[in-house]
Amino acid sequence: MYLVVGLGNPGDEYRHTRHNVGFDVIDLMADKYNVSINRIKFKGVCAEINIGSNKVILLKPSTYMNLSGESVREASSFYKIPNENIIILHDDISLDAGKLRIRSKGSAGGHNGLKSIIENLSSDMFVRIKIGVGKPERALIPHVLGRFSSEQRILVEKTFEATIQATQTIIEKGCSEAMNQFNGFNA
């Protein structure tokens, strides 16, 4: 069993912002697998799909970014999902819009959502797919809570498709295979 978590902030004012790319990908995965992300559980909303022979829980925490770990901990504990079967989809300002990078473990790198997950799991041993949102020109918070230009949005939506494919590859063939195939992706 796998847990795929898209990070973001709940509420229409955050919809399609750079910080909510994880939510965007989870919504696209739900559409692709013809499910609704509407079950309120684990301090979030979730749905269940199958990828290959694996049961997969899709989760969007409702805790706001900085407390995402509470939701991840509750879901992974309930289903007894090992940390290496947790996949976190999140924004990354160190990558240009349209790029993605997969890591099997690592630090929070200044990302408060990842920091919360590491604290709540007492481990950094979980897969993360970093979705590039570009470096802020000035202040960080207005950048991550802002929206993409129309040109950037086209690139990022291509990256969302690659993120879904990378997630499927991780689940079916392993993280190393996904890293070989998708690290360096540039829309």
Q: What are the residue numbers of the active site?
A: 19
β-strand partners of 45: 40, 60
* Spatial separation of the C-alpha atoms in residues 83 and 85, rounded to whole Å: 5
How far from each other are the two terminal CA atoms of the chain, in whole angstroms?
A: 30
**Structure-block tokens of residue 185:** 């992706």
Residue of 42, 37, 38 whose CA lies nearest to 61: 42
8 Å CB contact between 73 and 20: no
Whether the Cβ atoms of residue 145 and residue 18 lie closer than 8 Å to each other = yes
